[in-house]
Amino acid sequence: MKNKSLLSVFILSIIIIVIFFSFDTKSATISRKDVTSTSIKSETIENGIAIEKERKEGKSLTTAVELPKTNYAEIDEYIHDWSQAKEDEMFSEIENISASLSKDAQAHIVITPIIHQLDDAFITYEFHLQYTIKDVQLEEDVFHSEVESFTFDLTDGKLVHLEDILQISHLKEREIQSLIASLTKNKITDFSLQKDANRWMMTAEGLVFIHEKQAENDGFSVEKISVGFDVLAPLITDTYKKRLTKNDPTALAKTEKETIEKQDEKKTKEKSSVEREKRKTTGNDKKRKREKKRIAITFDDGPDEHVTPKILNTLKKYDAKATFFMLAPKANKHENIVKQILIDGHEIGNHSYSHANLNKVKQKRIKKEIIEAQATIESAAEQPVALFRPPYGEYNKTVIDLANQSGQTIIMWSVDPKDWKYQNKARIYENIIQHTKPGSIVLMHDIHEATAEALPKVLKHLQEQGFEFVTVSELLKEIEPAPNGVYYGN
């Protein structure tokens, strides 16, 4: 009899568990657990460069990735790591979308390069990335497309950054935005070194800026805008001046003339500035010394039931306030954490519904990611949400308009320790303390253990340097937006 009772209890427990999981949040229907490599081919194209093609197949996912191979181990390793990260990123988007699809949903990821070589000095890879999702529940296939490019210096195998070529490292984000708008004749008005770091290329004639824009059919098109070295000449850094204008003596002469004129102008301005400084009162000097160094610490992609509470404890210890940009489903799932964040005096913001790249989806989807997500987070928080951070820092005019219409200010960042990439507390710490200054908006993610582990040391060091940690809304009173109204911080 006792055994029968135990058996009954066991069966009942199994039934309860099955029922519980049947009502639990729907999981992703597209998986890469069973994905295996089915073929790897390599073919040499020119100048010692080969293309390695790998195809992987699984029940619900296939991938086709082509990567260039050179004689430079550093270049090949960089591209390999980048492609792995992009593949993970695209699959994460696919996984989020597939949570609302049938078990028969299928997805395909493609990464292919176009190679541009400038003499024997530079090489540029122009990567085209796509994924497609098919399912009977979709009115039409989900199609995502983007372009990223990388230019490498073949003398040392190093990646070339735009600020290596152009004298822009001293400029603020909004000043760079205005400069690129001017160079491209206002075809690109929202350029950012953060989100567009991999959207330019070097050619024999000049630089090419890659602009992805919404097409009339509600899709997206890629426009390449060339700016010649003759136009760029006054902006080219000394390091690259002779190398990039060696075939155009006129451009070099123009560069040198412009440089001399700039130096003379700078000396005149500095002289005037010194005179103005001398006329300032001691009272103003004292006021400036009393000004606080305020920054905003922000966290994306949460709340997470394990990591976010650890971060909240650390913030409380250092009397630091922060802003949490949440994904709507997670806010809905962890209402208790949302409430605790607010009780502790922090701020919450909207980080979309499914973390979709808003430059790659149609207007109807953008509306869901901004408006519906806002409503869901507000429901969990029981208070208005007035800040929006677009996933991946990707936005366009539609995003700006919808954010404005729904009373949300778009917030980007000025310090990115790439905690999502490195997952190393020492590296996260170093990246933050090296780049943080008054008015900075620091980006982190409250879903990584390494971030929670790095935070105490970060806050301790910055606090010792006189920094005060405030919410984004508090910091906005002290910093200026870019021309399009988006805030990046200093």
Digit-coded pLDDT (tens) for 305-326: 999 999 999 999 999 999 999 9
81 a catalytic residue: no
Task: Tell me: pLDDT of 18 over 50.
Answer: no
Q: What region does 465 belong to: left with phi over 0, alpha with psi -120 to 50, or beta?
A: alpha
Q: What is the pTM of this model?
A: 0.63
- Who has greater pLDDT, 482 or 72? 72
Rounded mean pLDDT, 77-99: 88
- Who has greater pLDDT, 267 or 189? 189
Do 299 and 324 contact (CB within 8 A), yes or no? yes
Phi and psi for 111 in degrees, rounded to 5? -130, 120
Give the separation between CA 408 and CA 347, rounded to whole angstroms: 14
For the stretch 211-254, pLDDT in tens is 876 655 555 677 889 999 889 989 999 988 888 866 454 544 45
Give the separation between CA 185 and CA 92, rounded to whole angstroms: 36
Nearest one of 276, 299, 380, 365 to 333, comparing CA atoms? 380
Sequence letter at residue 441: I
Torsion of CA 16, 20, 23, 25, to 10 degrees: -170
Average pLDDT, the chain: 84
Lowest pLDDT segment from 35-39, 286-290, 421-425, 456-460: 286-290
Which pLDDT does position 221 carry in this prediction? 72
Q: What region does 29 belong to: left with phi over 0, alpha with psi -120 to 50, or beta?
A: alpha
Do 143 and 105 contact (CB within 8 A), yes or no? no
Task: Tell me: pLDDT of 6 over 70.
Answer: no
Sequence letter at residue 323: T
Lowest pLDDT segment from 183-197, 281-295, 419-433: 281-295
Give the separation between CA 481 and CA 413, rounded to whole angstroms: 11
Q: Give SS3 for 273.
A: helix
**211, 346, 355, 445: the active-site residue:** 445
**135, 300, 416, 419: the active-site residue:** 300
Do 37 and 62 contact (CB within 8 A), yes or no? no
Sheet holding 142-153, edge to edge: 36-46, 49-57, 61-69, 106-118, 122-134, 142-153, 158-160
Which pLDDT does position 161 carry in this prediction? 94
Q: Which two tokens stand for residue 256?
A: 């040198």
The percentage of the chain sitting over the pLDDT mark of 70, rounded to a whole number, equals 83
For the stretch 183-218, pLDDT in tens is 988 888 878 877 788 999 998 888 999 987 665 555
Which pLDDT does position 266 carry in this prediction? 53
Q: Report the DSSP pairing between strands 61-69 and 106-118.
A: parallel
For the stretch 442-486, pLDDT in tens is 999 999 999 999 999 999 999 999 999 999 999 999 988 877 889
300 a catalytic residue: yes
CA-based R_g, the chain, Å: 26
Sequence letter at residue 136: V
Lowest pLDDT segment from 6-15, 294-303, 420-429, 455-464: 6-15
Domains (ranges, CATH) in the chain? 37-244 (3.30.565.40), 293-475 (3.20.20.370)
Q: Give SS3 for 191.
A: coil
Residues 6+ apart with CB under 8 A from 422: 428, 431, 450
The percentage of the chain sitting over the pLDDT mark of 90, rounded to a whole number, equals 53
Instruction: Please name the residue that has the structure tokens 């199994």.
Output: 14
Do 442 and 296 contact (CB within 8 A), yes or no? yes
Confidence category of residue 264, pLDDT binned at 50, 70, 90? low
Which pLDDT does position 291 carry in this prediction? 58
As beta bridge partners, residue 108 has: 62, 132
Separation of first and last alpha carbons in the chain: 74
Which pLDDT does position 256 carry in this prediction? 46
Highest mean pLDDT among 29-38, 178-187, 404-413: 404-413
